[in-house]
């Protein structure tokens, strides 16, 4: 995972992403990656529950 923190308290999943970070262009080159789970991953303590997350912004020209 890149720039993604997950925490479960009771039945609540909290996701933290630092939106000031950048990890370069997406594979298409149209956007800049800010955070990604890089596919579907299990939620901590609930591995049967999956999450897939991509956070990105439009590339400046």
- Segment holding 50, helix H or strand E: strand 46-51
42-51 long-range contacts, CB within 8 A, separation 24+: 43/6, 43/8, 43/13, 44/6, 44/7, 44/8, 45/8, 46/8, 51/6, 51/13, 51/15
User: How far apart, in whole angstroms, are the C-alpha atoms of residue 38 and residue 3?
Assistant: 11
> How far lies 58's CA from each of 26, 31, 45, in Å?
10, 5, 34
Q: What is the mean pLDDT of residues 8-16?
A: 97
Convert the pLDDT of each residue in 30-60 to its tens digit. Answer: 999 999 999 999 999 999 999 999 999 998 7
């Amino acid at each position: 995972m890149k720039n993604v923190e997950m925490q479960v308290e009771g039945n609540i999943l909290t996701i933290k992403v630092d939106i000031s970070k950048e990890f370069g262009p997406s594979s298409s080159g149209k956007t800049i990656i800010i955070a990604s789970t890089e596919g579907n991953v299990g939620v901590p303590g609930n591995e049967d529950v999956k999450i897939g997350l991509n956070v990105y912004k439009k590339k400046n020209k």
